[in-house]
Every structure is written in structure tokens, then in C-alpha cells.
Amino acid sequence: MNFEFSEEQVMIKDSVARFVRDEYDFDTRRKIIESQEGISRDFWTMFAELGWLSIPFAEEYGGFGGSVEDTVAIMQELGKGIVVEPYVSTVVIFGGLLSASTNEALKAEYIPKIIDGSCLGSFAFLERQSRFEITDIATTAVESGAGYTLNGEKTVVFNAATSNSLIVAARTSGEQFQRQGISLFMVDATSPGVTINSYKTMDGQSASTISFADVQVSASDLLGAVDQGMDIVDQVMPAILLALSAEALGIMEMLNSITVDYTKTRQQFGTPISSFQALQHRMVDTFMACEQSKSLLYRGLCQATEVAKNPHLGSAELHKSVHALKAMVARNGKLIGEEAIQIHGGIGITDELNIGHYVKRLMTINVAFGDGDYHQKKFNQLSYSAL
């Protein structure tokens, strides 16, 4: 039993950490966010050259053949720099869905383009009415000729403003909330009938409302079997939640260490405020909140590894763990963010300081793929409904 990252993982982690430290300072990040595209294509090319975009993909497509552990190691470091380039959207989510699909032609076409940095992708699943229920899908894909016609609207599609390709969840059969009947389609972002309205989000990234009006896709654009799209989504969801939680953990670690350091230098009443017990105990609580979150992350990782090794054992425990993880990250992230602001005092609420920007990314992660209450409820269903 051990909870260390491997030598190889430590090397990757270190190289991401070096990038964040040496090249991604707060001003650089601010300039990127204020730029036309809102991301740095130069950095994205650099990620490709350093091999970071290849990590989770199978070797047969030119990937590194890595595991969830590898992406988690990267995400934790990217979180420390609140890097806005869409690693999660493109590599973990879009790439993850693609990897889990059974459409070999699509994989052979798209995965190499993700790896070389030329393809950025987003997953369009959410709709106005659906809040956190992925299965609440009204967008339709109706068979027509050799393909399908898509009609409907997707909201809050993360990072679609810079994506060339979209994976769209649409209903090919069944009722609005049914799990069965949802299919995943690869759609070119410039296809006729696709209209993308993008906006900035508070974390320095972007999202889009996308409408589909008689968009034609071919049957070969289906990611897996028709009507069975949720199988793919469910299969990838633990990796998505683990990656987002790892990013959140990196942020929590930063917030805690910045805050602890600040109290050691800030003087009031003739003494550093770190000497006040009222503040010390709050910082101990945020330290514990961070360590407990890390422990649940490791729990999820270990179980993901076990499921990958022994698929026949089933993934019920893994799903319970990642629901618990996302719920805890939401709760502890909120605590740590709010305490960081409070302990900094007035300066904590200024735009100039990095604290607020870390907090805003945490808040965005907290709602992504379901907020804390949503995941806790899912955890409850899995844990208690059979008792």
C-alpha cells in the first residue's frame, strides 16, 4: 500500500508546477483573460509539445497511455495556477468521452488532433430546464436518410468559444428524463445550423449557449451505440469528477498557504496577526478541510485504479466515493475560500489580489456536473435506498 505518486508522475507534476511558477504568473494570466480569445494558443501549443495533451490517451492513437492518476497529478498543479486553458474540457471531458466510445474511426481521427493541439473540444449536455440532471434532455436527433437531424439548445457549454468540435448529447428516443434513448454525436462547431453565443465566466474562462437548427450529422458521427450515450457518460464521469476535484484541491492548497503566509507578515496591534488564537484555529480547520478532501480524492483514485484493473468487480463503490468527493470538495472549498477572504480582511475582497480569483474558480468547479447538495443526494441514494 502506498499513496505516493510514481517517479514518472512526479516528473510530470514538477514540469506543470514549473510552468505555473515560471511562466504563468498572475499578470500573465490576467492578460490572457483580457485577450481576444481568452486563452493562449502559444501555451496550448507548448502543452502539446510537452506531451501534456497526450497523457490519458491510448498509445495506438499516439497517446502516453496514462491513467486517471496522471491527469489528476496534472490538474492539481494547473489548479495552483488557475490556468484558464481548457485542459479539463478538451483532454479530460471531450477526450475522455471519445476514448470511451466504440467508434474507432472517430477516435483515430480526433484523438491525434487533440494530442497535437489542433483540436479543442467541448461537451454540450446541459439545457435550460435540466439544472444538474444530465438525462433531462429535450434536444432531439431524428433519423433522416443516412444520418440524423439535430434540433434544440444547449446552455452553459464550457469553453465552447474556443472549441472546433462539440460532443452533443441528444435524444434519439425515449422520454425527457429517460436514461435510455440519449445518444452522443460529434458535431463540427462550424456546421450549418449551429449558432454559438459565448460569454465570459467569473473564473476567467468562458461558456456558451448553442442552438442547433436542423443540423445534419451522419451515423458515423455517433460516439457509440445509438440510445446508449449515457453508458459512455457514466463510464467517464468518475474521471471527470476526480480531475475537477484535483484542480479544486490545488486551489485549496494555494488559498491555505497564501493565507497562512499573509498572517505571518500582516501586523496589527503591534504583532503579526498569526499570533491570534481566533485566527489560528480557523486556519487549522481549513488545513484539516484540505487534508480530508485530499484523502477522499485518493480514495476515489485508488478505487478508479481497482475498477480499471478488475472491471468485473463493478464500480458502485467508486461512484459512491466520487459523489462523496465532489460533495466534500464543494463544502470544504467554500469554507476555505470564505476563510481566505475573511482572514485577509479588506484586501481579500479586492480584484487586485489573487485570492478572489482562486475563489471564483473554486465556485465554478463547485457547480460543474452537480453541486455539493446534488452529489450528496446521489450518494444518499446509492448508500441508503437499499437499507
Measured in degrees and rounded to the nearest 5, phi and psi for residue 223 equal -70, -35
In order of 43, 92, 194, the CA distances from 26 in angstroms are 15, 25, 35
Binding another protein (rule: CB under 8 A), the pick from 136, 291, 338, 371 is 291
Select 3 or 269, whichever has its Cβ closest to another protein: 3
Stretch that binds another protein, among 41-49, 101-109, 162-170, 294-302 (CB under 8 A): 294-302
Binding flag, residue 295, another protein (CB under 8 A): yes
* 1: contact with another protein by CB under 8 A: yes
With CA atoms as reference, report the closest residue to 117 among 57, 190, 44, 166: 44
Among 2, 190, 265, 271, binds another protein (CB under 8 A): 2
CB 186 within 8 A of CB 167: yes
Question: How does DSSP classify residue 90?
Answer: I
Give the interface segment with another protein, choosing from 46-54, 111-119, 271-279, 354-362 (CB under 8 A).
271-279
CB of 381 to another protein, least distance (A): 9
- Which member of 180, 298, 338, 354 binds another protein (CB under 8 A)? 298
Count, residues near another protein per rule CB under 8 A: 45
- Closer to another protein by CB, 29 or 331: give it: 331
Alpha carbon distance 333, 204 (integer Å):
18
Which of 258, 302, 308, 367: binder of another protein (CB under 8 A)?
Answer: 302
Cell numbers of 89, please? 474540457
Q: Pick the closer one to another protein by CB: 87 or 379.
A: 379
Q: Which of 264, 268, 342, 345 contacts another protein by CB under 8 A?
A: 264
Residue 374 is placed in which grid cell? 446534488
Comparing CB distances to another protein, the nearer of 187 and 296 is 296
Rounded Cα distance between 373 and 324, Å, is 10
C-alpha cell at 261: 503566509
Interaction between residue 328 and another protein (CB under 8 A)? yes
Only one of the segments 94-102, 209-217, 228-236, 372-380 lies at the binding site for another protein (rule: CB under 8 A); that segment is: 372-380
| 384 forms part of the interface with another protein (CB under 8 A) | yes
Is the separation of the CB atoms in 243 and 88 below 8 Å? yes
Strands 194-200 vs 182-188: parallel, antiparallel or unpaired: unpaired
Cα 387 from Cα 384, distance rounded (Å): 5
Q: Does 376 bind another protein (CB under 8 A)?
A: yes
Those residues with Cβ within 8 angstroms of residue 39's Cβ, 6 or more apart along the chain or in another chain: 32, 84, 85, 86, 162
Residue with smaller CB distance to another protein, 10 or 50: 10
Mind giving me the DSSP string for 35-84? SSSSS-HHHHHHHHHTTGGGTTS-GGGT-----HHHHHHHHHHHHHTT--
Q: What DSSP designation does 139 have?
A: -
Distance CA 252, CA 246 (A): 10
Within residues 66-105, the interface with another protein by CB under 8 A covers 69
Residues at the interface with another protein (CB under 8 A): 1-5, 69, 260, 263-264, 274-275, 277, 279-281, 283-285, 287-288, 291-296, 298-299, 301-303, 305-306, 321, 324, 327-328, 376-377, 379-380, 383-385, 387
